[in-house]
């Protein structure tokens, strides 16, 4: 009887204490989504671009709750392009968050682009629940295996407790040495799994800043000796010098030695394009006649014609400086190959050349030959840019754009002639201020790059503008990212250089005649697009107006109005001559193999 009374008294108390205990235990539990978010935060990740769905909707909310900035895009490829561009601009990997199966597969092009371009990127994809694998789970795919070819590191954390370990490792791999891609696979069951918070080592490891690699002093001495004895030295400044924040050191080297330099497309601005020592307008002759080439963070791939004849002198000697020794002697045997970050090497080289009192005289025969070629080529460009003929050519369009955009804007550019001709006229005097199709030659990167650049400007350079110069074909790949720009109020100025085609199109009547001659799939030229497409009318979907331009005064007026807009994007659609092209080349633009 007594025991029964005790039981009746204690059971409600026991139940209440059990309920409290369960609540306390629940409060101490943390799931995979929040572990992932906190792990990324611990590693200094700031930006995430992506498209959500099952199973990463809660992941994106956890990322925002942890203080990361999430930008929702309209296409996984564009999200991947944006994430890698922010990695290049900040030096810290951007994250691309996507869903399982097709979501990740849509990222593969972006991953390959980042890997070839050497930009830091972390892709995180949800995947089907582990207990659904092998039996036809929703969007089931071999995601880790599929990613390995396009990344430096690909893994699936085996438990929630080990998520911080793999996040740290992924960030480190993406950033260290030659930057590239890391991939983390996050099954739905891992994201929702819970574990006691005190068992999660969020401070597993937080790497400090990566220390710069310094050059072997003997190799610096050899490089200085070779360069100082050269009759026709040339410096090539690559994207690696821009990513390595070596602009001050490289600028001092050029100013002190007065050696002519060529920037690669995204090496533009490390030393200002307006420098007296920039010989981009005599590029072909500079490469062809240089006897010693100092290669700073650039690769002798197709963009530099492999460093081989006929684009280079047969006896030209190369001093190759790269953070990745695997790159040495890739297409030609370098005379001096230096494993080093660009900045410490250039600083050491400058000291050695100063000791030798080396400086190239502006009256040297080398400078005189280059100056004469620059004058001749500049005259041709100016004649083309000053043409009053309608429809406009590329040069006239770019001259008008260059003259009417804010100084030191970030220029995003893609297309065939649009990008190639624009490199010579749209100038960059600051490093990391040009983003284009890059080493992989990827089309469709423009709007994604522009979103990333505009986000970076908003946070770090609010007075700077982003100018996205697109061919009409290139814009078609990712044009709906205009909605992303509206949603996040990004004032990107999009200039579409519209020639009705890929490389070149046709005038309206010619196109209609071709299409009327038979079956459309057989008679429509593969390089042709619809004529005079009114891309600027996309602005009307968002209650705004775009600009259609056929003349230089119209371009100037449109840019003047667009620069005033600070809370949304603008589209300027410039109709040009469909058959407009660039200056005739002394060599085929793509050097052919001799094999």
Sorted by where each begins, the domain ranges of the chain are 29-199, 217-370, 387-582
374 pLDDT tier (thresholds 50, 70, 90): very high
What does the longest C-alpha to C-alpha distance in the chain come to? 116
pLDDT score of 26 more than 90: no
5 pLDDT tier (thresholds 50, 70, 90): very low
Place domain 217-370 in its CATH homologous superfamily: TPP-binding domain (3.40.50.1220)
| Mean pLDDT across 282-286 | 97
Partner residues linked to 392 by β-bridges: 576
Quote the pLDDT of residue 211: 81
Pick the residue with more confidence: 585 or 399?
399
Element spanning 457, H or E: helix 446-460
Question: Torsions phi, psi of 14, nearest 5?
Answer: -60, -45
591 pLDDT tier (thresholds 50, 70, 90): confident
pLDDT score of 541 more than 60: yes
The closest alpha carbon to 419, from 478, 482, 490, 495, belongs to: 495
588 pLDDT tier (thresholds 50, 70, 90): confident
- Spatial separation of the C-alpha atoms in residues 292 and 290, rounded to whole Å: 6
Quote the pLDDT of residue 200: 86
**Tens-digit pLDDT profile for residues 118-154:** 999 999 999 999 989 889 988 989 999 999 999 999 9
Quote the pLDDT of residue 581: 85
DSSP letter (8 states) at residue 216: P
> Contact, 181 vs 111, CB < 8 A?
yes
Distances (CA, A) of 111 to 36, 76, 121, 149, 314: 21, 11, 8, 10, 36
pLDDT score of 208 more than 70: no
- Spatial separation of the C-alpha atoms in residues 214 and 349, rounded to whole Å: 12
Quote the pLDDT of residue 18: 40
| Mean pLDDT across 247-275 | 98
Pick the residue with more confidence: 209 or 118?
118
- Spatial separation of the C-alpha atoms in residues 188 and 345, rounded to whole Å: 47
Q: Do domains 217-370 and 387-582 have the same CATH topology?
A: yes
Task: Spell out the alpha helix ranges (H) of 479-551.
Answer: 481-487, 508-515, 520-523
Considering the chain, what is the average pLDDT of its residues? 93
Please report where in the chains the tokens 């070596």 appear, as a residue.
Answer: 246
17 pLDDT tier (thresholds 50, 70, 90): very low
Quote the pLDDT of residue 207: 57
pTM of the predicted protein model? 0.93
Do you find a cis peptide bond into 419, omega within 30 degrees of 0? no
pLDDT score of 583 more than 80: no
pLDDT score of 210 more than 90: no
> Contact, 100 vs 127, CB < 8 A?
yes
593 pLDDT tier (thresholds 50, 70, 90): low
Angle (CA) 66-75-142 rounded to 5° is 80
Q: Domain spanning 387-582 has what CATH number?
A: 3.40.50.970
**Tens-digit pLDDT profile for residues 187-200:** 999 999 999 988 88
**Secondary structure string (H, E, C) spanning 17-68:** HHHHHHHHHHHHEEEHHHHHHHHHHHCCCCEEEECCCCCCHHHHHHHHHCCC
| Mean pLDDT across 92-103 | 97
> Contact, 182 vs 173, CB < 8 A?
yes
Q: How far apart are the first and last CA of the chain?
A: 102
The strand pair at 317-322 and 292-296 is best described as parallel
Distances (CA, A) of 63 to 18, 34, 60, 78, 483: 33, 8, 5, 20, 22
- Spatial separation of the C-alpha atoms in residues 229 and 588, rounded to whole Å: 32
Among 16-25, 316-325, 415-424, 572-581, whose mean pLDDT is lowest? Answer: 16-25
Partner residues linked to 528 by β-bridges: 501
The closest alpha carbon to 227, from 289, 304, 290, 309, belongs to: 290
Identify the CATH assignment for 29-199 out of 3.40.50.970, 3.30.930.10, 3.30.70.580, 3.90.1170.50: 3.40.50.970
**Tens-digit pLDDT profile for residues 379-434:** 999 999 999 899 999 999 999 999 999 999 999 999 989 999 999 999 999 999 99
Counting Cα atoms < 13 Å in the Cβ hemisphere of 156 gives 20
Give burial (CB, 10 Å; 0-12/13-18/19+) of 67: exposed
**Tens-digit pLDDT profile for residues 544-579:** 999 999 999 999 999 999 999 999 999 999 999 999
- Phi-psi label, residue 139: left if phi above 0, alpha if psi -120 to 50, beta otherwise: left
- The tokens describing 153, both together, are 């590191």
Quote the pLDDT of residue 19: 44
């Amino acid at each position: 009887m007594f025991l029964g009374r005790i039981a009746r008294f204690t059971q409600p108390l026991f139940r209440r204490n059990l309920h409290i205990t369960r609540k306390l235990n629940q409060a101490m539990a943390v799931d995979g989504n929040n572990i992932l978010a906190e792990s990324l935060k611990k590693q200094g990740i700031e930006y995430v671009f992506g498209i959500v769905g099952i199973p990463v909707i809660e992941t994106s909310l956890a990322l925002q709750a942890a203080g990361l900035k999430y930008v929702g895009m309209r296409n996984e490829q564009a999200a991947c392009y944006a994430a890698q561009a922010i990695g290049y601009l900040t030096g810290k990997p951007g994250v691309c968050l996507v869903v399982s199966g097709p979501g990740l597969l849509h990222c593969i092009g972006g991953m390959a682009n980042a890997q070839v371009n050497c930009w830091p990127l972390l892709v995180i994809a949800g995947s089907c629940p582990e207990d659904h694998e092998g039996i036809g789970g929703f969007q089931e795919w071999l995601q880790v295996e599929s990613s390995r070819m396009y990344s430096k590191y690909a893994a699936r954390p085996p438990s929630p407790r080990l998520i911080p370990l793999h996040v740290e490792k992924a960030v480190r791999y993406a950033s260290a040495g030659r930057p590239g891609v890391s991939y983390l696979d996050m099954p739905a069951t891992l994201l929702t799994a819970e574990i006691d918070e005190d068992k999660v080592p969020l401070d597993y490891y937080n790497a400090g800043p990566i220390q710069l690699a310094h050059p072997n002093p003997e190799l610096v001495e050899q490089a200085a000796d070779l360069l100082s004895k050269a009759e026709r030295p040339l410096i090539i400044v690559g994207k690696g010098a821009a990513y390595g924040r070596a602009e001050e050191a490289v600028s001092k080297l050029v100013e002190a030695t007065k050696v002519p330099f060529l920037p690669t497309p995204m090496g533009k601005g490390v030393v200002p394009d307006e420098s007296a020592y920039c010989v981009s307008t005599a590029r072909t002759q500079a490469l062809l006649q240089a006897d010693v080439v100092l290669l700073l963070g650039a690769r002798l791939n197709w963009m530099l014609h492999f460093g081989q004849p006929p684009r280079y002198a047969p006896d030209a000697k190369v001093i190759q400086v790269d953070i990745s020794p695997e790159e040495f002697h890739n297409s030609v045997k370098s005379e001096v190959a230096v494993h080093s970050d660009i900045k410490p090497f250039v600083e050491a080289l400058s000291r050695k050349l100063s000791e030798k009192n080396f400086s190239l005289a502006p009256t040297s025969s080398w400078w005189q030959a280059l100056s004469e070629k620059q004058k001749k080529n500049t005259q041709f460009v100016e004649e083309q840019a000053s043409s009053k003929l309608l429809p406009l050519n590329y040069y006239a369009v770019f001259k008008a754009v260059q003259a009417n955009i804010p100084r030191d804007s970030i220029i995003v550019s893609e297309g065939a002639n649009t990008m190639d001709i624009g490199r010579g006229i749209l100038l960059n005097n600051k490093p990391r201020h040009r983003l284009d199709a890059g080493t992989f030659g990827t089309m469709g990167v423009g709007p994604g790059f522009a979103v990333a650049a505009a986000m970076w400007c908003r946070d770090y350079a609010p007075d700077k503008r982003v100018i996205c110069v697109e061919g009409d074909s290139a814009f078609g790949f990712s044009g709906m990212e205009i909605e992303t720009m509206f949603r996040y109020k990004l004032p990107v100025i999009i200039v579409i250089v519209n020639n009705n085609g890929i490389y070149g199109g046709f005038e309206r009547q010619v196109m209609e005649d071709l299409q009327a001659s038979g079956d459309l799939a057989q008679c429509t030229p593969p390089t042709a697009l619809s004529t005079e497409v009114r891309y600027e009318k996309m602005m009307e979907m968002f209650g705004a107006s775009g600009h259609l331009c056929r003349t230089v005064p119209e371009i100037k007026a449109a840019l003047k109005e667009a620069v005033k807009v600070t809370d949304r994007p603008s589209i300027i659609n410039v109709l040009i001559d469909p058959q407009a092209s660039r200056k005739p080349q002394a060599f085929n633009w793509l050097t052919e193999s001799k094999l």
